Amino acid sequence: MINKNLIFLLPILILLLNQVHINAVAQDYVPRNIDIERSPKNILVGSFLGGRSHLKPMLDVATILIERGHNVILLTTGKYEPSSEYPGLKQITLGSKTLTPKNSSNRLNIHKDKDDYRILIHLMRLATETYNVTYEKFKNAAKENDIDLFICDVLASQACIDVGNNLNKPVVGFIASMQMMEPKSYKSDPMFGCNISLENESFFERFRCTLIQPLQIAYAYKPFVRQLNDIRDQMNIKSVSEIVPKVSLALIDTFFGFELPQSTAPNVQEIGPVLSEEYPPLTPELSDFINGHKRVLYVAFGTRFFATIENNTKILQSLIEAINNKIVDGVIWALSETSKDEFNPTLTFTDGTQVQTLPILNNIHPHIHITKFAPQFAVLNHTNTKLFFSHGGAGSTHESLYTGTPMLVLPFGGDQMGNASKLIKSAGIALSINKNALDVKDILNKIDFLLKDEHIKKNSKRMKYLARINSNRKYRAADLIEYMLYSSGLNEYLDDDFLKEWIPAESRMGFIKANNLDVYGVLFIIILALIGIAFKLIKYTSNSLFDRKKSKQA
């Protein structure tokens, strides 16, 4: 007989035995150590163009590196002072702003240029004219601060990339355009006069975009490339930044769902959308306005490009008519660098009535709020903001995708045409209008469509999730940069083994060998030879049979 007291103690004994077993098992395992032994390194972030749109994504990654104990120095042009926004950042200036809005010689001529790639030529001209001075400033900053690694804005920053490579330091290229760092034959960009995807284009269009357009663009670039190389020769500088710059790692501020998918090399990484952890809040004035309106349209066109007086006037007229037609009930327009005198003094509506422009720009209209600056992310993130009327810059596009705000895009130049196409075709959350053919009725119809279409709403939700999921990849960017800083062989940067594990073999093999064209060429010759031999055998056999037949007949 089992003692009844033991029956009551049995569950307790089982629990005790399980706990002993768990403790014993736990003691058999060793915890994973994820700590990295870090020593502070010196990093230089460089941008020739400067400005918030170019610098902010780079500095958001740099912030992570600063938090990990590294020293980051910013070398750029212009009036944008990010030091207060990014504590711990040291800034050195390259000089005055590269593209001065009110300086006609530096203002981007976006209305007269037929081909939009000429904007890049304009930037290259500016970079070439100041290359020797810019190069010396980057070199001096690198030597004085014992720089270990360069992070260079790829666009027009040849000096930054050249200094890094000539000092035998790793260079990280940073840009928002995949096609400029990892071009593919089946992709292009409206900036170059072709569609973003050549997948469904005709043979003649693919022929034009693959051969004709690149030759035309190369011909337009040739004088500036030659001039830049002459300057390099005079300064005894090794040329390393050509059409696709030589960088150890290319960080692309984009993400799948927005960017057309393509295969990439390990040293080309999509790390976007790069966004800050915190953004400025709404001002009390903006907060009161946006809380008092349920369907707000936010308008902002950045600081680099500028609409004509005629287009500014048409946009303002369309905003007022959108309110009058109850499509939206409120408008916030951040004019930024656009002044109030860049509008016609009078608006003429479709019913013939006229209204003075200046009172509206001075916020007399109860449902239109005009401001020089608006905390864009805070405006877009408000539930009452239903639509974003934008130029389609990379930063604005990413913030709109992250907040799930549909877009009406007025692209002016540069990457904005390509962004507009991706927003329409890939993301499915936008429509665009043509800067050379603005029409008030067309703007109203597209605003109305974007606010009502169910597919737009569904795609906005989908892209919102994608953007938020991918927004953490800036930490991967920082991880990869640290890997370069701590990887073996750093002091022997010219050694071919440095970072060999992520640089594709094709870069060392050359085009012919990497694509096995020599193998296929030999195979083709062998096939031709076999066909020739077979043809001769057939001819010889047929002649022999003919001769035998002829001799028998004789």
DSSP string, 482-549: HHHHHSTTGGGTTSTTTTTTTS-THHHH-HHHHTTHHHHHHHHHHHHHHHHHHHHHHHHHHHHHHHHH
DSSP secondary structure of 251-263? EES--BTTBPP--
3-state secondary structure 342-369: CCCCEEECCCCCEEEHHHHHCCCCCCEE
Distance CA 142, CA 186 (A): 39
Q: What is the DSSP letter of 151?
A: E
Residue 517: pLDDT above 60? yes
Q: Let me know the angle formed at the C-alpha of 481 by 475 and 483, rounded to the nearest 5 degrees.
A: 105
Provide the pLDDT confidence category of residue 180 given band limits of 50, 70 and 90: confident
Residues contacting residue 130 through CB under 8 Å, at least 6 positions apart:
none
Check residue 100 and give its pLDDT: 42
Provide the pLDDT confidence category of residue 245 given band limits of 50, 70 and 90: confident
Residue 143: pLDDT above 70? yes
Distance CA 415, CA 404 (A): 21
Query: What is the residue-averaged pLDDT of the chain?
Result: 86
CB neighbour burial string for 231-245, b if at least 16 within 10 angstroms, e if fewer: bbeeeebebbbeeeb
Check residue 542 and give its pLDDT: 79
Overall average pLDDT of the 50-77 stretch:
91
Three-class DSSP category at 470: helix
Check residue 155 and give its pLDDT: 87
Provide the pLDDT confidence category of residue 17 given band limits of 50, 70 and 90: low
Q: Quick one: angle between helices 440-452 and 309-324, nearest 10? A: 50
Check residue 102 and give its pLDDT: 40
Q: What is the DSSP letter of 283?
A: P
Overall average pLDDT of the 227-233 stretch:
89
**Lowest mean pLDDT across 119-128, 164-173, 296-305:** 119-128
Higher per-residue pLDDT: 285 or 414: 285
Check residue 444 and give its pLDDT: 96
Residue 554: pLDDT above 70? no
Check residue 197 and give its pLDDT: 92
Amino acid occupying residue 81: E
DSSP secondary structure of 414-437? TTHHHHHHHIIIII--EEE--TTS
Check residue 20 and give its pLDDT: 54
* Token pair belonging to 443: 């703007």
Check residue 110 and give its pLDDT: 46
Are residues 305 and 391 in contact, defined by beta-carbon separation less than 8 angstroms? yes
Are residues 347 and 316 in contact, defined by beta-carbon separation less than 8 angstroms? yes
